[in-house]
Amino acid sequence: MPENQNPSTVEIDYLKSNFFRVIRVNGAFGGFSPDGQLFMAIFSERPPFPDATVYSVEANGQIGPEIIEKRQTTSKGKIVRELEAGLSMDVRTARAIVQWLNERIDIAEKMAAATHPRTEVKQ
């Protein structure tokens, strides 16, 4: 192959890093880092964990059911947004991710329409 000619294909291997994990994402927020990169923190939402719980003790010494009214929590009535990861990227990468997501959304919508076609309501 001549030196100036690019190959017609390239093979890419995917390897999982030691820190690879699957993260449930409920949302994201962010802005720009001081160096102008886009920064996005992704989070998952859940109810708060109690600070402490109290259980009854059965006559045989076994732990019985929780006494709900004695549950202690400082976050009662709140929702916890647990920050899972921070993602920093340039605009080019952000556009590529948006395009990839839009393509997957289109595929998902077509699959859903094929699986559950809408029925027209006649009046």
Across all residues in the chain, what is the average pLDDT? 90
pLDDT of 121 above 60: no
Q: Which amino acid, one-letter code, is at 12?
A: I
pLDDT at 69: 92
Length of the chain: 123
| Residue extents of the structural domains in the chain | 27-115
CA pair distance 93, 90, nearest whole angstrom: 5
Tokens of 26: 């409920």
- Output 7 or 98, whichever has higher pLDDT: 98
60-111 pLDDT, tens digit per residue, is 999 999 999 998 988 888 999 999 999 999 999 999 999 999 999 999 999 9
Higher pLDDT, 4 or 34: 34
Q: What angle do CA 35, 41, 45 make, to 5 degrees?
A: 170
- Long-range (24+ apart) CB contacts under 8 A made by 18-21 are none
